[in-house]
Structure 1
Amino acid sequence: MAGKTQEVREELKLVLSGKTKDALWPPLVYAILQSRMGILPAALAAMAGSLATAVYRRMKGEKTLYAFTGFLGIALASGLAYYNQNASNFYLPGIVSGGVITVVSLFSLLLGKPLAAWTSHLTRGWPTSWYWRKDVKPAYTNVTISWTVLFAVRLSLQLYFYLRNDVANLTVVNTILGLPATIGVLVLSYLYGIWKLKVLGGPSVREHVENLPKPWTGQTRGF
């Protein structure tokens, strides 16, 4: 049990400290600066940071998707803030970013290329051909469905309270369905994903890359 707990902790650290943070810090910077500098200066500072991150990733030959997601979220949020300037605008960057990722998650399911697989690919660098195997993809599809439900519920509540300028309830929603819920879902996703891969009986990433014949050991670490 202690071994599995340590494994989950290490995998969670890998996901949260990877390139996904490129999309997480711009809304936070914008929210902090907006109350001190105003909408436009805060947006320009956060967007400049996102572009700098994208350039840095490109120079290192790494993916820039998350950096541009952060940039897009700030651009949309700052634009909307001009038309609806109220106290709840503090939460607008997170709402816009949440809306974008909800749509992306839903479309990834409709296209048969689940977001959970892309997130894992960008974080770990595993070949996409492994994720799309019939004995692998269902695990990532099911996890993406759970993500989409969480994203949609959170976005619906956020929009409802935002349009009512109900800062108190908006704060409650962001507190409960924010980072704590995200971490909880990531942990459950990992545990379920490893179990589902075992049930599906597909090869591990290494076995797939090396085109090894059955019987396969399967993916026992990392999802």
Structure 2
Amino acid sequence: MIGTALGSAARRAGIDPDVEQSTGHMVWQVIGGWRGIMESVLPLLVFIVAYTSTQNLLLSLGLSVGIAALFAIVRLVMKSPPVAAFSGLIAAVIAAGLPLFTGRAEDQFVVGFITNIVYGTAFLVSALVRWPLIGIIVGFLVGEGVAWREDARKRRTFAWLSVAWGALFLLRLGVQLPFYFQGDVATLGTVKIVMGLPLFAVVLASTWLVTRRLYAHRG
């Protein structure tokens, strides 16, 4: 079931309500610590700096993918699962494909736009149809499946949390698209970094705090 899969993925990422840990520790674990931050930021940052200073698209994309490949090798050496090791590299290669084809540096961000549209829409639609994704994930994390749907307070809370996640993804899209249409690669990349992990961490921490409070008296 999709709920079981989402719950298992959340536990592997470090989101486990049955484990006593601070909110800050949980968020730090989910984003992967300093290595996770570097893997998320460095490839894009190298691309922005290289392209802004040289205007050489091929060189900039090559450096970005090269950094991602280096991180993949490090993960393999540290015995990470192959899927985790190569996920960042695959994402970097896919993102580099379109600008190589079009010759437009700003197209490096199109995959991110599509991701924000898909995730943002999925969270908002799930709340509208009263099957909020946050509820599905939390339900299988705490072992109650979809029984939370019988509790009006939980339904409302999970719906609003799902709306918050949907708003996060669509906010990124709304802020970044104008810079894309202007062809402003430097500003677009900077905004993407700023609206990446920092905003993700804030919404994740808020979701964790609200959910822990919701289940504070769970037997």
Partner of residue 42 from structure 1, selected from 41, 46, 64: 64
The one-letter code of the counterpart of 1:96 is V
Q: Is the 8 A contact 2:132 2:162 kept in 1?
A: no
Structure 1 residue corresponding to 2:181, chosen from 147, 152, 163? 163
Whole-Å separation in 2 of the counterparts to 1:25 and 1:116: 31
1:213 is matched with which residue?
none
CA deviation digits over 1:181-200, x for unaligned, max 9? 333222222222223335xx
Q: CA shift at 1:162, angstroms?
A: 1.4
Match of 2:42 in 1: 29
CA gap 1:31/1:71 in 2 versus in 1, 3 angstroms: same
How big is the shift at 1:84? 4.1
State yes or no: 1:132 paired with 2:145.
yes
Query: 2:29 is matched by which residue type in structure 1?
Result: L
Aligned to 1:144: 162
Q: Residue 179 of structure 1: CA displacement?
A: 3.7
SS of the residue corresponding to residue 130 of structure 1 reads coil
| Cα distance in 2, alignment partners of residues 161 and 70 from structure 1 | 24
- Greater RCO (Cα-Cα under 8 Å, separation 6 or more): 2
Query: Which TM-score applies when normalising by structure 1?
Result: 0.56
1:57-206 to structure 2, matched below 5 A, reads 57-58=80-81, 64=83, 67=85, 69-82=87-100, 83-86=102-105, 88=106, 92=108, 96-97=111-112, 99-100=114-115, 102-104=117-119, 106-107=121-122, 110=126, 112=131, 114=133, 130=143, 132-135=145-148, 138=155, 142-167=160-185, 170=188, 173-174=191-192, 177-198=195-216
Of Structure 1 and Structure 2, the greater helix share is in 2
Contact 1:27/1:74 (8 A) holds in 2: no
| Identical counterparts, % of pairs | 19
* Shift in alpha-carbon separation, 1:48–1:177, aligned structure 2, 3 A: closer
**Displacement of 1:151 after TM fit?**
0.8
| 3-state SS of 1:135 partner | helix
CA deviations 1:38-84 (Å, max 9, x no partner) are 3135324414644774794337xxxx3x5555334312221122224
Partner of 2:14: none
Q: CA RMSD in A?
A: 4.2
Conservation of the 8 A alpha-carbon contact between 1:70 and 1:97: no
For residues 140 and 50 of structure 1, the distance between their equivalents in structure 2, rounded to whole angstroms, comes to 35
The runs of 5 or more residues in structure 2 that have no matched partner are: 1-20, 52-58
Aligned to 2:148, what secondary structure does the other structure show?
A: coil
Q: TM-score, normalised by structure 2?
A: 0.57
Residues 1:218 and 2:218 aligned together: yes
